[in-house]
Amino acid sequence: MALNTVALLSPGDMGEGVAASIKGQGIDVITVLARRSDETRTRAERAGIRDVADLAALVSEADLVMSIMPPERAEALAAEVAAAMKATEKTPPFADMNAIAPTTARRIAAVMADAGADFIDGGIIGWAPLKSKADTKLYVSGPNAALMDALDGNGKNIIQLGDEIGRASAVKMIYASVTKGTDSLLTAAYTAAEALGVRDVLEAEWATSQPDALARMERRVSALPADAGRWIGEMEQIAETYASVGVTANYHKGAADMYRLLNSTPFGAESRETMDKSRTMQDSVKVYVQHLNPPKAAK
């Protein structure tokens, strides 16, 4: 099946990069910008994404629909797209590329099957395409995942994982459980050290005994609030993934709480583009401590 038009919902940081990469392959990219923010509209314009009136118009024109958005919105968006498919009797394949649990992917697959559309399970690892030297990896699975091979290249590497729906989501979830989970743990430790008045002591200790951990803190502690709001739902999906196989969900429930804390600070309003890159982790953590929930007094 030729891909002449790909619908992308929606052009956030990753979506903008994916759209720009697809446009660079000579494929039209469309989206719905009604009621979207000025920032989203700017991203769409930069990537060369064409605006269409509504989801009915989108599914009518698209050869493939790709969902790339915060995971907590994935199921609701899929239901809206499925309703538009039923109303128009147009059923392009639906590729969910969100950071969702395999159980969530299978629920969305069922919604698409009810609408008569093929479902492709996906997960994205790496920075947005064309923003780093390394290709962005798009892991995909499902009986019709081979359709995604047409998008391989121009900063994207399509990696096929077989016919099982949920397999690609599982790869994304476990990978992110380590990367973003570790960032949340290190930031939690650094914040607790500041709150307990021993941060300077631990910085000296980490510098000699855990230099890699300290270096990662220096890179990530100040930067995380810009992404924290988008990663709360991802941590909850990871918790669901772990629980689905009998592994404790509590690690990543705690990570979600840490990202809620970071998002509650004034820095949570920043984006990767607007964040103050000169702010040190020492300056940042003082603000994090101010937003901690005070412990309840013992009765």
Residues 6 or more apart whose CB falls under 8 angstroms from that of 23 comprise 29, 47, 48, 49
> Percentage of the chain surpassing pLDDT 90?
91
The DSSP symbol for 187 reads: H
Percent of all residues in the chain with a pLDDT value above 70, rounded to a whole number: 98
For residues 257 and 272, state if they share a domain.
Answer: yes
Q: Is residue 180 part of a domain?
A: yes
Let me know whether 64 and 121 are in one domain: yes
- Host domain of residue 74: 5-165
Q: Among 102, 136, 165, give the residue marking a domain's end.
A: 165
pLDDT tens digits for range 223-253: 999 999 999 999 999 999 999 999 999 999 9
Q: What is the pLDDT of residue 246?
A: 98
Alpha carbons within 13 angstroms on the beta-carbon side of residue 94 total: 36
pLDDT digits (tens, 9 = 90+) for 198-217: 999 999 999 999 999 999 99
Spatial CB neighbours of 87, under 8 Å, sequence gap ≥ 6: 56
What is the mean predicted confidence (pLDDT) over 69-73? 95
Let me know whether 281 and 260 are in one domain.
yes
CA distances from 234 to 80, 128, 130, 255 (A): 21, 17, 23, 10
Of 135, 165, 195, the last residue of a domain is: 165
Domain count, the chain: 2
CATH of residue 261's domain is 1.10.1040.10
Chosen domain end from 127, 149, 165? 165
Position 296 confidence tier, pLDDT thresholds 50, 70, 90: low
Q: Which residues contact 182 (CB under 8 A, 6 or more apart)?
A: 216
Cα separation, 110 vs 106, in Å, equals 6
297 is a domain residue: no
For 10-47, the pLDDT digits (tens) are 888 899 999 999 999 999 999 999 989 888 999 999 99
- Please indicate, yes or no, whether residues 180 and 283 belong to a single structural domain of this protein: yes
Residue linked to tokens 């968006």: 77
How many CA atoms does the CB half-sphere of 67 hold within 13 Å?
31
Specify the pLDDT at position 39: 87
My answer on whether 161 and 17 are in the same domain is yes
State the sign of the Cα–Cα–Cα–Cα dihedral 198, 251, 136, 20: negative
247 and 157 in a single domain? The answer is no
How many other C-beta atoms can be found within 10 angstroms of the C-beta atom of residue 153? 14
